[in-house]
A = this chain, B = another copy of it.
Amino acid sequence: MGQGALDVVGVGNAIVDILAHVDEAFLVKHDLVKGTMKLIDADEAERMYMASPPAIEASGGSVANTMVGIASLGGASAYIGKVRDDQLGDVFAHDMRAIGVEFKGEHAAAGPPTARSLVFVTPDAQRTMSTYLGACADLGPDDIAADVITRAKITYLEGYLWDRPEGQAALRKAATLAREAGRKVAFSLSDPFCVERHRCEFRALVESEVDILFANEREIMSLYEVPHFDDALQRIQGQCEVAALTRSENGSVIVAGDRVHVIDASRPGEVVDTTGAGDLYAAGVLFGLSCGHDLATCARLGAIAAAEVISHFGARPEASLATLIRQELD
A residues apposed to B, CB below 8 Å: 228-231, 233-234, 250-251, 253, 258-264, 296, 299-300
Choose among B231, B251, B262, B300 the residue that contacts A233 (Cβ–Cβ < 8 A). B262
Chain B hits for A231, CB < 8 A? 296
Chain B hits for A253, CB < 8 A? 262
Chain B hits for A228, CB < 8 A? 263-264, 296, 300
Contacts A233-B262, A253-B262 aside, 20 further interface pairs with beta carbons under 8 A come to A228-B263, A228-B264, A228-B296, A228-B300, A229-B264, A230-B261, A230-B262, A230-B264, A230-B299, A231-B296, A233-B260, A233-B261, A234-B259, A234-B261, A234-B296, A250-B251, A258-B258, A260-B260, A260-B262, A262-B262
Least distance between A226 CB and chain B CB atoms (Å): 11
Q: List 10 A-B contacts (CB under 8 A).
A: A228-B264, A228-B296, A228-B300, A229-B262, A230-B262, A234-B296, A250-B250, A250-B251, A258-B258, A262-B262
Chain B hits for A260, CB < 8 A? 233, 260, 262
Complex alpha-carbon distance, A300 and B228, angstroms: 10
Measured CB to CB, the nearest residue on chain B to A231 is B296
Complex alpha-carbon distance, A97 and B55, angstroms: 66
Kindly name the residue among A230, A258, A264, A300 whose own CB sees the greatest number of chain B CB atoms within 10 A.
Answer: A230
Q: Which 3 A-B pairs have the closest CB atoms?
A: A260-B260, A258-B258, A230-B261
